[in-house]
Structure 1
Amino acid sequence: MSMYDFKLTFALPGADTNAEQYLDALFEAGCDDALIGIGSVGTIGLDFEREAGSASEAIDSAISDVHKAIPGATLLEVGPDLVGVTDIADLVESTRQNIQKFVTSGLFPKPAHFSRTPIWHFYTVATWLASRQLRAIKLEPSVIEASKIAYRVNIEVQKRQLEQTDETSIELGLTA
């Protein structure tokens, strides 16, 4: 058994739903190993530290627990997945400056999204960092495993969102 740190973000049923009403239900459903964020109307974020046999088991059980507590909640994102330089530094217990040196070296993985503030899939970055066995980087295998599962689940979430958008587009007669 290993300890897995990951984040789940859900849309609540009803856009104006107050997340506070679900706090007791989440605790009773087994989410007592999560810090819960309720700062954004209509969404809820849970930062888990869950012990399980695998990252997949930890994440799947947490999603199931949230669905038990909040019927109709929609999974929006699993983390760690999409990250910037500061997030990477936090996840590998390094400095932002140290990570920025890697980014500008020309060898660092290419971002998933190019912009003024690039974003990477953490699994891509973590495997790259792990392959270099750098002393300045602290990277637990459980973090790499959780980021891989987060990446995979987020792909499925994006596919579901695309299918829902396509259905709406067809209903509106907007298909190409």
Structure 2
Amino acid sequence: MPDYEFIFVVDGITLDDHAAVNALTDELDAVLSCSHGVHRMTVSGSGPDAVTAAGSVVARARALVPGMRILRLDPDLVGVSDIAERTGRSRQNVTQWIHGQRRDGVPFPAPEGTVGRSLVWLWSDVNAWLRGIGLDDGEDRPTRDEATEINWLLRHGVPPVHVNVDVDFDVLPGREDTQRIAALLVEHARMTPRFIEYLLRHPQVRDARGRSTVVVCSPEHLAADVFARLRAYGRPVVVATITTGVFAQVISASRRPGSTPVELPPGATVRDWIGLIALYPDREFSVGSDDLGAIGESDPLEFASR
């Protein structure tokens, strides 16, 4: 069976707990570290898959140190300099990989996000890509879906229930990337617990047949087009898109009497609108002079996506 490496964020233990640290080291060959007040345990485990291996490791660690809380997997985010250091290559080499100049037909993984002004990637994604050119570190790690399931187990103590949520995806036309976004959202509605939970928590977005309505748009769609689609429904729906990650929010078309909406310029895009939602989370938004308005009926849901 394959061996998997895990980096867990832990609590209830410090580097000064010598008995606990020694027990983890002796029995699990685990390494405990601390950076900026966050304790991490790096440990390997074997199993037919990463989820099973993680469950075995977690059970043994909890038995050894009952007071230690294993909170979640550390995503192990890396930037260009980190990738260069781990592979022994130059930053220029890494930049060439990112721009597709060194492995034809196999694009470099999409970044997970940004830290400051720099892009960062999941090391597990990068390492899997590097395996194709013989530069990986030889370690197997959980896939993105396996990591989601492991974190669910750590949080809830039981395997995730894959609920079949009936969703009506209303895909706005006019942008080339919208079908790709819709395909990813369909997958998240089947496999991603956070998205499934979000849909289940908001029954007000269901139609007469009990299907959750999700309006799928591109970040570059005009906000006015989305507002017009919302007005056609006459009830709350989930508006969803993917920028650096998934953004979803229960939103209804509204121009409330006496309200002072945040006015969007006529050419404002969905990306512009999302940026303003972060600044004005409880405000109504409007665009143009056609009484097109929208207001959030819930907190937004945001999480990483491929």
Kept in 2, the 8 Å contact 1:94–1:138? The answer is no
Aligned partner (choices 98, 102, 120) of residue 103 of structure 1: 98
1:76 is aligned to 2:72: yes
TM (normalized to structure 2)?
Answer: 0.38
Kept in 1, the 8 Å contact 2:4–2:53? The answer is yes
Measured against aligned partners, the alpha-carbon deviations of 1:116-149 in whole angstroms (never above 9, x if no partner) come to: 221122343344444xx325x2353x42xx1416
What is aligned with 1:138? 136
Higher strand share: 2
Higher helix share: 1
- Counterpart code for 2:89: T
Structure 2, gaps ≥5 residues long:
102-106, 156-192, 199-281, 283-297, 300-306
What is aligned with 2:125? 124
Q: Identity over aligned residues, as a percent? A: 18
What is aligned with 1:148? 143
Distance 1:89 1:148, change over 3 A: farther
Higher relative contact order at CA 8 Å, sep ≥6: structure 1 or structure 2?
Answer: 1
Give, in angstroms, the shift of residue 154 of structure 1: 6.8
Q: Distance in 2 between matches of 1:47 and 1:38?
A: 11
1:65 is aligned to 2:60: yes
Distance 1:129 1:25, change over 3 A: closer
Q: Which has the higher Rg, Structure 1 or Structure 2? A: 2
Distance 1:75 1:27, change over 3 A: same
1:3 is aligned to 2:3: yes
SS in 2 for 1:118: strand
Structure 1, gaps ≥5 residues long:
13-17, 164-173
- Counterpart code for 2:2: S
Q: Distance in 1 between matches of 2:148 and 2:48?
A: 18
Give, in angstroms, the shift of residue 52 of structure 1: 4.4
Q: Distance in 1 between matches of 2:118 and 2:97?
A: 15
Q: Distance in 1 between matches of 2:45 and 2:150?
A: 19
Give, in angstroms, the shift of residue 53 of structure 1: 4.6
Q: Distance in 1 between matches of 2:83 and 2:11?
A: 25
Distance 1:152 1:37, change over 3 A: same
TM (normalized to structure 1)?
Answer: 0.59
Q: Distance in 1 between matches of 2:5 and 2:130?
A: 19
Larger deviation, residues 54-63 vs 22-31:
22-31
